[in-house]
Amino acid sequence: MSRKLPVKKQLERIYANVHLAEIFTDHNIQLVPLPSESYFKGHCPFCELQPISDQPQSDCSLVVSRPQNTFYCFKCQQGGDAIVFITQLNSISPLEAIDYLSAKYDHRISHD
């Protein structure tokens, strides 16, 4: 068993290694890159139904920023980082969200 890292360290590792767009995709939320490629858009999991067709998404309200690693919905004004997203999506506490992300993406996070 590896020693559990302090929360602050876990957070740093998550932010540095896991992009929010990847987390969205892993939760079956389809994102499409905008022309700048720094931003993606998709249907908001909090206020919009997922599209049935695989042809997204002219009317979606959610924007994910790659440089900032944050999301924002222009319709319901939900927004934040990966921890906020997981907390709200799964109705869990921020600490649980950090544990969840660390466990899910730990193989991707470099150990030092």
The interface with Zn ion within residues 81-110 (CB under 5 A) comprises none
| Cβ 50 to Zn ion shortest distance, Å | 12
Using CB under 5 A as the binding rule, whether residue 74 contacts Zn ion is answered as no
- If the CB atoms of residues 75 and 104 are measured against Zn ion, the closer one turns out to be 75
**Alpha helices of the chain — where are they, by DSSP H?**
7-17, 20-26, 82-90, 94-105
Angle between helices 82-90 and 94-105 (to 10 degrees): 110
Using CB under 5 A as the binding rule, whether residue 46 contacts Zn ion is answered as yes
Stretch that binds Zn ion, among 3-11, 29-37, 74-82, 98-106 (CB under 5 A): 74-82
The answer to whether residues 84 and 58 touch, using CB atoms and an 8 Å cutoff, is no
Residues 32, 47, 94, 95: which binds Zn ion (CB under 5 A)?
47
Let me know if 30 is exposed, middle or buried by CB neighbors in 10 A (0-12, 13-18, 19+). Answer: middle
Which chain residues interact with Zn ion by CB under 5 A?
44, 46-47, 73, 75-76
